[in-house]
Chain A
């Protein structure tokens, strides 16, 4: 098992990944990038609050099924929430209503892949096209 300290990405890398997401998705209101254990690496506002709410969302989603969820898409009247687990990280993003889900997930997956490449975490190119999921 690799040393977590050696493979943990620098906060600057996570900030860069979040900036990439913000740049790529004009509908994005805010978001956060977390490690598999729920530690916030980068967030658009208070990191501690993102840790609480994002982990709660992922936990509730996991509890609804028998296996860990990989993607979450919740559309409400106030906006849309996207969450993705891939490459040993998790990304949560909030967008305006009617954002294109496939593009948003694609951008989130790209950001996490680049982050994983930088940190050596996970498999940057999974054989099945799906990211690893760590509950």
Chain B
């Protein structure tokens, strides 16, 4: 006896979702740090972390990331007053 049509559809959607979840898991596990630079005209260059230029880029990027973690400073007199 063939399965009901909606079962086929559900199985197919579940299959796609499983594939996508597995892809995201693999991406999270396997993805390594990278530094990519893009130039006018679509040219791109990638610098591995163990290269001299790559190491400098990662140091600069980490400094920017640390900066983003800092809270925003509100000038005196512009603090939001709670109602």
Chain A interface (Cβ within 8 Å of chain B)?
Answer: 29-31, 44-46, 49-50, 53-54, 56-57, 60-61, 63-65, 67-79, 81, 92, 94, 98, 130, 133
Contacts and interface: CB of A to CB of B under 8 A. Distances in A.
Contacts of A63: 53
A53 B37 contact: no
B64 A65 contact: no
Contacts, number: 105
The 6 closest A-B pairs by CB, nearest first: A30-B68, A94-B68, A71-B38, A74-B61, A57-B60, A45-B70
B38 A74 contact: no
A69 B36 CA distance: 10
Contacts of A92: 64
B72 interface: yes
A70 B62 contact: no
A27 B7 CA distance: 36
Contact of A54 (B28, B45, B64): B64
Given A44-B68, A49-B67, A98-B27, A65 B60 contact: no
Nearest to A49: B67
B33 interface: yes
A69 B57 CA distance: 13
Given A65-B39, A92-B64, 20 more contacts: A30-B69, A45-B72, A50-B67, A53-B67, A56-B63, A60-B60, A61-B57, A70-B39, A72-B36, A73-B38, A74-B35, A74-B57, A74-B58, A74-B61, A76-B62, A76-B65, A78-B62, A81-B64, A94-B67, A94-B68
Nearest to A66: B39
